[in-house]
Chain A
Amino acid sequence: MLLKTYNRYTATRSLDAFKNFLFVFPAVAIFCIFYIYPFFELFNLSLHQWQGIGPKVFIGLRNFQELAVDKVWWTSMGHAGYITLIALTFQNALAFALALACDREIRLKHFYRLVFFIPPVLSEVVVGILWNWILNSGMHNGQQIGLFNNFLAQIGLPHLIHNWLSDPKTALTCIAVVHAWKGFGWGFIILLAGLQTIDRQLYEAAKVDGAGMWRTFWNITLPMMLPVIVLVVILTILGSMQVFVLILSLVNQGLVYHTEVPVTRILGAMSGTNQFGYACAQAVILGILLVTVSFTLKSFSNRIKQA
């Protein structure tokens, strides 16, 4: 009797498991087809010499060996790192400051939330065109064409007028600033959502205990916000290391190699020089780097939470 009941129980469980599996199967299948398979195919292609069409020649790890000594590639990594650094500091500090401001009871806070979220919803191409217009250089009928240079001339600072996007000293910083301008809204929304989950009673208790603004921020806001901050940092790194549409939109195929980032190199290897295998090797290296950084940050965050 007991055995019969047990058998019926296990049969029901297996049937349930099968039904459950059927429900998740489409998602698993889509994930495998569109994520797992392409990843393995990408790695497979990175071991070949291939023009994108025609026969593939297996060359083992030669693409990776060449990549290891490709100075332009590693410089492009450095450029992406610089853009990421500006995003992590300037962009996220701005996002956090604005989120803190909008978390308080201030007038027009809903309006500000809307305004700060406009740049992220704009297409990168549109942002590029817009900033191209702002940072443009050159004169027409005695007037500066670019809005920013025109502004500098109007306020009596003509000596600061510059070829912002065509000078190696300023081009990458301009790109980084525009990227930060476009991206801070995401951080702002996520950080604001995080701030709003903090129990207000904690702040009231701190106030009763006589804690000032800085102490409240340091002992309550920051620890409570740590998982959200880590999330924003990870998203910022992933977004900034892969920036490229904005670059194409601002400086086209680049200012010599001064504005190259990993994705523009991958794109160049694919469509510029038809080295699909090499482009795949670059993509594999970039992917591994980003996954490593993300997991390191996640485990760092977990460790701090446990502490």
Chain B
Amino acid sequence: MRRLVSWMFCAVLAGMALGCAQAKKTANEIEVWHWMTDRQDSLQALAERYEQQTGIKVKIALFAPSDSYTQKVIAAAQANVLPDIYGILDKKSIVASFIKAGYVADLTEAFKADNGAWEKRLFAKAINNNRFVEGNVDKVKPGIYGVPLDVSNIQMVYNRALLKRAGIMKPPATFDDFIADAQALRRVGIPPFVTGFGEMWIVDCFASNYAFNIMGEAKVMATFRGEVPYTDPDWIAVFALFKKLADKGVFMEGIVTKGNKYAEQDFALERAAFSFDGSWCVNIYKTMNPGLDYGVLPLPPVSSNFPMRMWDGAGSSLVVNDLSPNKDKAVAFLKWLTAAEQQTYLAEKTNNLPANRDAHRAFTDVLGGFSKVMENTTHPNIWPLNEDPLVVEAFDKGIQAIMIGDETPQQVAGEVQSVKVRQMGRAARP
């Protein structure tokens, strides 16, 4: 009996050891890690199609939610067990760390081959999200390090029926129109505007759109470099917009702690007339309320000094593991995946905007509205430099404080500037 128990114990230990070992892959097999739950089935179908065409098996592994996926990728990088293809859902400085650690292949040559055929068929903005330019602050060798699978941008959506109920015949063209429309909606008991301001990135996105509109990109970048303080009147004007929106009753109740999923639900269920959401919302609204009658428009500008720029949500990009023995096969698969036929299939199945320009031609209505501003988008990943994360935290939390009446725009500006000064001091420390 004792011997039997000993054998069983050894067998369990051996099983555990084997379980910890990585499964061996064949030379004709590549592995992709991603976080996109809505694209898993379509990617799986495309992987099967690719295997039929080329004989190369593509294993698509989904790890969700995105926070867990991010942690998994970091842990896998530390353990050096990253797959052939994966995505890095993090700030560009972190992508730079992956590149410098040798976990991301430089795809510039592949993009430039055949007179740049691959590069030309994808949106420049989407490629630029994955590009490190000469003299970049992260000190990464210039090049293109990722392949955009799809693109997205974040705009305002409006419910036509609710606007009509408040007597509004056309969507607002300016910020003042927007305030006036919101008050008209309030008068008939309709909450005007909802979005996921409980998630800091949305606060940041909304505020930086207006910062670009009020002071232009050059001044925003000068602020990041520390040359313009956050106490500058233009920045106070950005903060003051949130106070005005709050004071005029534009925000739906509870907006300040609302997650974007809840905000999307509120808009889809016609509980609010306007929302600020990404192009992915088309798929979400379709699932929640197929009959929803809505349109899309850029955020109404507050100033005519500079153009209103839409945040491109950076879409979804995948990178190739530079240490992978199947690097060439991985690049070939990504090239195939971003060809017009596969991109059209993905767009049809998932309602996401494809990275391939040719696949955009068929879009009409809402998705078309998102599609047509693609060339006028911006994103922190393509900015020459980004703000310190602690300053961004103070900035976003400060805006929340303005929205709930905790602080004034001037107070928030002062606090953000003091964090900025502290962080610049730290950065200068040896």
Q: A residues engaging B (CB < 8 A)?
A: 26, 51-54, 132, 136-140, 142, 145, 163, 165-168, 171, 250-257, 259, 268, 271-275
Q: Which of B191-199, B206-214, B318-326, B356-364 contacts A (4 or more CB under 8 A)?
A: B191-199
**For residue A275, which residues in chain B have a CB less than 8 angstroms away from its CB?**
389
How far is it, in angstroms, between the C-alpha of A137 and the C-alpha of B90 when the chains are bound?
33
CB-CB nearest in chain A for B203: A253
**For residue A138, which residues in chain B have a CB less than 8 angstroms away from its CB?**
191, 252-254, 266, 271
How far is it, in angstroms, between the C-alpha of A144 and the C-alpha of B340 when the chains are bound?
48
**For residue B270, which residues in chain A have a CB less than 8 angstroms away from its CB?**
140
Of A145, A259, A271, the contact of B67 (CB 8 Å cutoff): A271
Q: Knowing that A138-B253, A165-B257 are A-B contacts, what are 14 other residue pairs whose CB atoms are under 8 Å apart, sorted by A's residue number?
A: A52-B94, A136-B254, A138-B254, A140-B269, A145-B271, A166-B256, A250-B257, A251-B198, A255-B256, A255-B257, A259-B257, A272-B200, A273-B393, A274-B93
How far is it, in angstroms, between the C-alpha of A167 and the C-alpha of B198 when the chains are bound?
13
How far is it, in angstroms, between the C-alpha of A52 and the C-alpha of B93 when the chains are bound?
11
B121 within 8 A of A: no
B287 within 8 A of A: no
A/B interface sample: 14 pairs, CB < 8 A: A54-B97, A136-B254, A138-B252, A138-B266, A139-B191, A139-B253, A142-B189, A163-B253, A171-B257, A252-B198, A253-B199, A253-B200, A271-B70, A273-B390
How far is it, in angstroms, between the C-alpha of A258 and the C-alpha of B266 when the chains are bound?
25
Does B67 lie within 8 Å of A255, measured CB to CB?
no
**For residue B258, which residues in chain A have a CB less than 8 angstroms away from its CB?**
252
- B215-259 CB mask vs A (1 if < 8 Å, else 0) is 000000000000000000000000000000000000011111111
B77 within 8 A of A: yes
**For residue B78, which residues in chain A have a CB less than 8 angstroms away from its CB?**
53
B401 within 8 A of A: yes
Does B404 lie within 8 Å of A255, measured CB to CB?
yes
Of A139, A252, A256, the contact of B404 (CB 8 Å cutoff): A256
**For residue A272, which residues in chain B have a CB less than 8 angstroms away from its CB?**
200, 389, 393
Does A54 lie within 8 Å of B252, measured CB to CB?
no
Q: B residues engaging A (CB < 8 A)?
A: 13, 67, 70-71, 74, 77-78, 90-91, 93-94, 97-98, 100-101, 189, 191, 196, 198-200, 252-259, 262, 266, 269-271, 389-390, 393, 397, 400-401, 404, 406
How far is it, in angstroms, between the C-alpha of A11 and the C-alpha of B259 when the chains are bound?
67
**For residue B77, which residues in chain A have a CB less than 8 angstroms away from its CB?**
53
Does A168 lie within 8 Å of B406, measured CB to CB?
yes
**For residue B189, which residues in chain A have a CB less than 8 angstroms away from its CB?**
139, 142
Given the known A-B contacts A54-B100, A251-B198, A255-B257, are A274 and B262 also in contact in the complex, defined by CB atoms under 8 Å?
Answer: no
How far is it, in angstroms, between the C-alpha of A46 and the C-alpha of B94 when the chains are bound?
19
Does A252 lie within 8 Å of B259, measured CB to CB?
yes
Of B91, B100, B199, the contact of A252 (CB 8 Å cutoff): B199
What distance in Å separates the Cβ of A269 from its nearest Cβ neighbour in chain B?
9
Of B100, B101, B389, B401, the contact of A273 (CB 8 Å cutoff): B389
Given the known A-B contacts A252-B257, A254-B257, are A274 and B389 also in contact in the complex, defined by CB atoms under 8 Å?
Answer: yes
Does A51 lie within 8 Å of B404, measured CB to CB?
no
Does A256 lie within 8 Å of B393, measured CB to CB?
no
**For residue A142, which residues in chain B have a CB less than 8 angstroms away from its CB?**
189
How far is it, in angstroms, between the C-alpha of A51 and the C-alpha of B74 when the chains are bound?
10
What distance in Å separates the Cβ of A65 from its nearest Cβ neighbour in chain B?
12
How far is it, in angstroms, between the C-alpha of A253 and the C-alpha of B78 when the chains are bound?
27
Does B254 lie within 8 Å of A51, measured CB to CB?
no
What distance in Å separates the Cβ of A155 from its nearest Cβ neighbour in chain B?
20
How far is it, in angstroms, between the C-alpha of A130 and the C-alpha of B223 when the chains are bound?
42
CB-CB nearest in chain B for A268: B393
What distance in Å separates the Cβ of B313 from its nearest Cβ neighbour in chain A?
18
**For residue A167, which residues in chain B have a CB less than 8 angstroms away from its CB?**
404
How far is it, in angstroms, between the C-alpha of A255 and the C-alpha of B198 when the chains are bound?
7
Does A53 lie within 8 Å of B393, measured CB to CB?
no
How far is it, in angstroms, between the C-alpha of A163 and the C-alpha of B256 when the chains are bound?
10
**For residue B91, which residues in chain A have a CB less than 8 angstroms away from its CB?**
274
Does B255 lie within 8 Å of A53, measured CB to CB?
no
**For residue B401, which residues in chain A have a CB less than 8 angstroms away from its CB?**
256
Determine which residue in B254, B255, B397 has the highest number of CB atoms from chain A within 10 A of its CB, and name it.
Answer: B254
How far is it, in angstroms, between the C-alpha of A52 and the C-alpha of B404 when the chains are bound?
34
Does B254 lie within 8 Å of A165, measured CB to CB?
yes
CB-CB nearest in chain A for B194: A138
How far is it, in angstroms, between the C-alpha of A54 and the C-alpha of B97 when the chains are bound?
6
What distance in Å separates the Cβ of B60 from its nearest Cβ neighbour in chain A?
24
How far is it, in angstroms, between the C-alpha of A51 and the C-alpha of B404 when the chains are bound?
33
What distance in Å separates the Cβ of A255 from its nearest Cβ neighbour in chain B?
5
What distance in Å separates the Cβ of B346 from its nearest Cβ neighbour in chain A?
28
Given the known A-B contacts A53-B77, A273-B389, are A163 and B254 also in contact in the complex, defined by CB atoms under 8 Å?
Answer: yes
Does B196 lie within 8 Å of A252, measured CB to CB?
yes
Does B191 lie within 8 Å of A256, measured CB to CB?
no
CB-CB nearest in chain B for A129: B262
How far is it, in angstroms, between the C-alpha of A268 and the C-alpha of B392 when the chains are bound?
12
**For residue A271, which residues in chain B have a CB less than 8 angstroms away from its CB?**
67, 70-71
How far is it, in angstroms, between the C-alpha of A51 and the C-alpha of B269 when the chains are bound?
41
How far is it, in angstroms, between the C-alpha of A139 and the C-alpha of B192 when the chains are bound?
11
How far is it, in angstroms, between the C-alpha of A116 and the C-alpha of B240 when the chains are bound?
49
Does A253 lie within 8 Å of B390, measured CB to CB?
no
**For residue B200, which residues in chain A have a CB less than 8 angstroms away from its CB?**
253, 272
What distance in Å separates the Cβ of B2 from its nearest Cβ neighbour in chain A?
10
What distance in Å separates the Cβ of A168 from its nearest Cβ neighbour in chain B?
7
Does B98 lie within 8 Å of A53, measured CB to CB?
yes
What distance in Å separates the Cβ of B163 from its nearest Cβ neighbour in chain A?
16
**For residue A52, which residues in chain B have a CB less than 8 angstroms away from its CB?**
74, 94, 97
Of B94, B269, B397, the contact of A257 (CB 8 Å cutoff): B397
What distance in Å separates the Cβ of A5 from its nearest Cβ neighbour in chain B?
26
**For residue B253, which residues in chain A have a CB less than 8 angstroms away from its CB?**
137-139, 163, 166
CB-CB nearest in chain A for B266: A138
What distance in Å separates the Cβ of B252 from its nearest Cβ neighbour in chain A?
5
Does A166 lie within 8 Å of B397, measured CB to CB?
no
**For residue A54, which residues in chain B have a CB less than 8 angstroms away from its CB?**
97, 100-101
**For residue A257, which residues in chain B have a CB less than 8 angstroms away from its CB?**
397
